Amino acid sequence: MKQTLTCWKCGASLADVPVPFARVAECLRCGADLHVCRMCEFIDPGVRRGCKEPVADDVSDRERANFCGYFTPAAGLGPGVEDGASQAARAELDSLFGLAPPSSASSDDADEARRRLDELFGAETRK
């Protein structure tokens, strides 16, 4: 199954944006530049200059459009996206420190939290 490209900034699908991205291409939802290092398969903060392409020009702002000829958009680089290794590492850290995995909070939990905050700070109880 092929992953669709998503915006690096807001996570919106980029299925309606023609590929290859023009230098001036923008996300249809948030207006973020798309021909940026943050969208490229060669980005890697762990290597020198943050790019795995050894002859690419140095780019100072990885979130602004650039003229890099090696730019290749990569799927799965949007906000909140974690690969399997990241998820496994987070689970291992959580178990090491005795933390429960995050669960989705219900509206009842939110109401209870709001009530407790109101009690703590002396606000009138909401009805």
0.85 surpassed by pTM: no
Residue 2: the pLDDT is 58
Backbone angles phi, psi at 83, to 5 degrees: -80, 175
Q: Do residues 123 and 116 lie in contact, with contact meaning Cβ atoms separated by under 8 Å?
A: no
Q: Residue 31: name the closest of 10, 4, 62, 61 by CA.
A: 10
pLDDT, one tens digit per residue, over 76-125 is: 776 655 556 667 778 888 888 887 766 555 667 888 888 888 888 877 65
Tell me the one-letter amino acid at 80: G
Residue 1: the pLDDT is 40
